[in-house]
Structure formats: C-alpha cells, structure tokens
Amino acid sequence: MTTDLGPETLTAAVIDSFKNTPDERLKTVLESLTRHLHGFVREVAPSIEEWETAIDFLTATGQKCDDVRQEFILLSDVLGVSMMVETINDEETPDATDSTVLGPFHMVESPERTLGENISPESEGEVCVVRGRILSVTGDPVPGARIDVWQANTKGFYDVQQPGIQSIGNGRGLFTADDNGEFFFRSVVPSYYPIPTDGPVGSLLNATARHPYRPAHIHFIVAAPGFKELTTHIFVGDSDYIDSDAVFAVKHSLVKPFTTNPDPEAAAAFEVASPFVEGVIDIVLHPALHHRTPHDATTKEIAR
C-alpha cells in the first residue's frame, strides 16, 4: 500500500520499497538511512523554507567541489562523521597505530622521494626531521612499506590551495621504508591552520560560533602488501588547538613532542644544521583484513 501515507506509514513504505535489493549490505544501509533520516525529519519538523535552505546548502556544498577542493569531505569532517568512520574501523585493529581523518587535501599524487629528502623545499620555517619505523603488530619491521606524507606550509596552506605560489608537490612526499622499516625526511615544523572557510562549511562554522582551526600536523598514509592501509597524522605536541581540533581528529597517541636533538652526528646524517628539531613516530600496521568492511562496495554501489 503506497498511497495516503502519513508519518506513521511512510517510513515503513520506503523501507519496504528496498526489499528486492539483491545486495544485502546495500539493502541494510538504505533501510537504516531511511529510518534515521525520517526520524531526524520528524524530530526537527522543518518548515518548507528550512527544507529548501538545507537543499540549497547541500547544493552549494557540491558546487564548491572541484579537482582540488572537496567540500563534502570537509562537511563530513566538521560534523565528526569522518572521525566516527575512522574510529569504528579502528576497533577492528586495536593493536595498530590509531588512524585519523584523511582530510580534503590528498588530492594530488605525492612526488616519489628518497629517504632523507626535503618534502617542503619551497616552505620557509623551522627545519625539522621526521622519522620513525614501520612495524607490524608483532614488532617486526615492515621493509619496503610505502609512506605517503603531506603537510601545509608554515602559513597554513597546502600546495593545492596556492596555485602560482607553491608548486604541486611542495609539502608532499612518497617514501619507501628501508630494510629496517625505517623512514626519515626533512621538512619544516608545521603550524596550526584554519580549514577552508570560504564555502558552505565556513558558513556553518560561522553560524555556530565555532573556530576553524586544526592543530599542527603532518598526514601519513602507510601501505604495505599484506597489511591494512593506515591513514593517520603526527600532531606537533605543543601546538595550539590540540584540545579543540575543528574536525575532532586528535588521538593522544599521535601527539608527539617535536624536540631539539643536540647530536651533531645525527644532524650530519640527516644533512641539517646542528642542533635540529625532530618529531619521531613509529607506525604499527595490522595484517590485512579479508572480510567485507563498511568501506567496501556499498558506497560505490550507491554512487553509481
């Protein structure tokens, strides 16, 4: 029965409309989406004008997206949805390094670099060395792991945000861990920065009296055959906004002091002046999971 539907019967009718969905996971997702979305609308009881405002907001969010700007990821981030997805998926790998948000700026390929190379040749600021080991949950090194890193410059901008000012690839690097699973690269100590506020997400923050800042960090994606890929950050220990990240992405296990290393031999090995600042993080990977996770096919099926 799909006529004369009211608040009591509409939700059941929409859920019933999905009953022949061949993919069980897709069916589950759509049923749950319907239940929650209808529940939300019933609770908020928007006026027609408010509903139109919501549609306009989502339309503007889509229109703000292009090859190097992803306003929907930003929206998911400031609503805590990205972090919820990360945290749920992390529960499957409790012994691995904590993951955190991908963010909207992993939009270009990082240039392949050799260990020790400077990822920020066009950035001014305090030189630092970032180093660590890629390990398995058993404590064994993972030689050959691929380590993709990206960071903003000290003015708080990623390369893709400053065409004509920064070359694409400044602040980025793709490294291969050595035979001991070790990695090391040079950069500048990142600073805290505001997420982009010139779009609908900025209007949302403004309307809700929220600040747009993220504490200083460097992004990592670490991948190796036979292991679950890990998306994470190293956060600079004494950064402002560690306790109020605009996207709720700080895990204390990822906050590391960037300390001064006085050892001249280490400085010579890393080809930096002595003394130098360094941030150290070991990254532990979990063996690959072979069951279907929430990240798998469903979202792609819906998107088609």
Residues that bind ligand BEZ (CB under 6 A): 74, 77, 101, 103-105, 195, 214, 247
| In the complex, least distance from residue 280 CB atom to Fe ion, rounded to whole angstroms | 19
CB burial class (10 A; 0-12, 13-18, 19+) of residue 83? buried
Q: How far is CA 267 from CA 117, 128, 157, 263, in A?
A: 14, 10, 28, 6
Residue closer to Fe ion, measured from CB, 172 or 286: 172
- Say if strands 217-223 and 230-236 run parallel, antiparallel, or are unpaired: antiparallel
| In the complex, least distance from residue 162 CB atom to Fe ion, rounded to whole angstroms | 14
| In the complex, least distance from residue 16 CB atom to ligand BEZ, rounded to whole angstroms | 38
- Say if strands 213-214 and 230-236 run parallel, antiparallel, or are unpaired: unpaired
Residue closer to ligand BEZ, measured from CB, 105 or 175: 105
Cα(227)–Cα(65) distance, integer angstroms? 32
Residue closer to Fe ion, measured from CB, 61 or 232: 232
**DSSP at 20:** T
104 binds, among Fe ion, ligand BEZ, none (CB under 5 to 8 A by kind): ligand BEZ
Residue closer to Fe ion, measured from CB, 103 or 279: 103
| In the complex, least distance from residue 191 CB atom to ligand BEZ, rounded to whole angstroms | 12
283 binds, among ligand BEZ, Fe ion, none (CB under 5 to 8 A by kind): none
Residue pair 34/14 in contact (Cβ under 8 Å)? The answer is yes
Q: Which two tokens stand for residue 25?
A: 């996971």
**DSSP at 98:** P
Interface residues with Fe ion (CB under 5 A) are: 103
Residue pair 247/82 in contact (Cβ under 8 Å)? The answer is yes
132 binds, among Fe ion, ligand BEZ, none (CB under 5 to 8 A by kind): none
| In the complex, least distance from residue 217 CB atom to Fe ion, rounded to whole angstroms | 6
Cα(57)–Cα(226) distance, integer angstroms? 42
101 binds, among ligand BEZ, Fe ion, none (CB under 5 to 8 A by kind): ligand BEZ
247 binds, among ligand BEZ, Fe ion, none (CB under 5 to 8 A by kind): ligand BEZ
Residue closer to Fe ion, measured from CB, 118 or 153: 153
- Say if strands 182-188 and 193-194 run parallel, antiparallel, or are unpaired: unpaired
